[in-house]
Structure 1
Amino acid sequence: MLKRLLAWMDRLTQARVRDVAHRHGRRSLLGKLGVALVGGAVLPMLPFDRSGQFGSAQAAEGGHGGPAAKPDPNDPVKCEYWRYCAFDGFLCTCCGGSLTQCPPGTEASKVSWVGTCMNPNDGRQYLVSYNDCCGKGACGNCLCNNNERERPGYRLGVHNDINWCMANTNSMFHCTTSIIVGVA
């Protein structure tokens, strides 16, 4: 009985495969296979909505499932602080320094990059200089990467992805300060 069932399944499968082979050529199979491979490679690059991440973290911390609270733009230990619009690095405010002073044992980089950030408190644009503090290994606390109006690497003065400690004697990066230079 089992032998007959297996033989019947074998004949049925063979008939179906031959039918498909008669209707579709090898090029059709290769084309579909190529589309599947390319589509599978492109799929991770498609844009997706990350807007729910903050709300999910808030809910995990005991918040309500409603709309997420807007981050405070006046808290200098948060990446959302208004001066950090073009910031990339560890906040010196979390590493033993301040907004304008490097932590003990480090020195300000001799070169820096600049950003123009709007202060939500007065609605004015300010020119902010970002100075890396050099001389110790990376702080590792409060990593922020904001790229508002960042320019490509060939415009170094407004590019934040460079080790700006390169001009100092000790080129080890520790953290970054944000100093208001003036009104834009």
Structure 2
Amino acid sequence: MKSLFTQVSDWFDTKVEGTSRSIAHHAGRRSFLSKAGAAMVGGFVLPMLPYDSSNGAAFARGFGEPEVLPDDCDYWRYCSLHGGLCSECGGTVTQCPPGSTPSKVAWVGTCRNPNDDKDYLVSYNDCCGKGSCASEGCSRQEGDMPGYRLGLASESSWCMANTDKGIHCTVAIVVGLAE
């Protein structure tokens, strides 16, 4: 009499053999190898495909808009901005200049992109740690609230949570689509 393990092993071998023979009868080795090769190549190529992790910020630039964003206060992304443009102070629209750090707290505005007629949430972060920039600055403040509504007021000192409290300039970062 066979042991239980031997019986299970024989049953499993029989099932695997039957399945293998059935596959071999319907599909040749070349077909199997081509499908297996395609699966392997796909497994290697899939992680290399581009992935938009910006939550729609790539589309916020709009079609046909230049990569280098304008240094004009009328630019749609600056609809609630109050401060100097970092792009005029050695930084970019989204990055603080060297020697300054982004504020740990920020205010958020909802701005309409005229290129695609969609509303986007834009985070305005003051860049702290350096003296004031020579930029004239922008003060559009569309939808701004009084100073006692701290999260919605653009004229507050947003460097209050940083160790270096001096405000240098302001960046405007598209967070995502407004819903």
Using the size of structure 1 for normalisation, the TM-score is: 0.59
Say how many residue pairs are matched.
Answer: 112
1:135 alignment partner, one of 129, 138, 155: 129
One-letter code aligned to 2:101: E
What's the counterpart of residue 115 of structure 2? 121
One-letter code aligned to 2:111: C
SS at match of 2:160: helix
Q: Flag structure 2 segments of 5+ consecutive residues without an equivalent.
A: 1-64
| More off after superposition, 142-151 vs 111-120 | 142-151
2:79 alignment partner, one of 79, 85, 100: 85
What's the counterpart of residue 93 of structure 2? 99
Deviation at 1:153, TM superposition (A): 1.4
Q: In the alignment, is residue 173 of structure 1 matched against residue 136 of structure 2?
A: no
Give distance in 2, aligned partners of 1:171 and 1:138: 11
Q: Flag structure 1 segments of 5+ consecutive residues without an equivalent.
A: 1-72
User: 1:88·1:144 contact (CA, 8 Å) conserved in 2?
Assistant: yes
Runs of 4+ in 1 over 3 A off after TM superposition: none
TM-align CA RMSD? 1.4
User: 1:77·1:142 contact (CA, 8 Å) conserved in 2?
Assistant: no
Q: Percent identity?
A: 58
User: 1:137·1:174 contact (CA, 8 Å) conserved in 2?
Assistant: yes
Using the size of structure 2 for normalisation, the TM-score is: 0.60
Deviation at 1:182, TM superposition (A): 0.7
What's the counterpart of residue 56 of structure 2? none
SS at match of 1:148: coil
Q: Deviations over 1:83-137 (max 9, x none)?
A: 0000000000000001110000000000000100000000000000000000000
Deviation at 1:168, TM superposition (A): 0.3
User: 1:88·1:161 contact (CA, 8 Å) conserved in 2?
Assistant: yes
Q: Identify the structure with bigger relative contact order (alpha carbons < 8 Å, sequence gap 6+).
A: 2
Give distance in 2, aligned partners of 1:177 and 1:158: 16
SS at match of 2:159: helix
SS at match of 2:77: helix
Give distance in 1, aligned partners of 2:70 and 2:101: 20
Give distance in 2, aligned partners of 1:118 and 1:124: 6
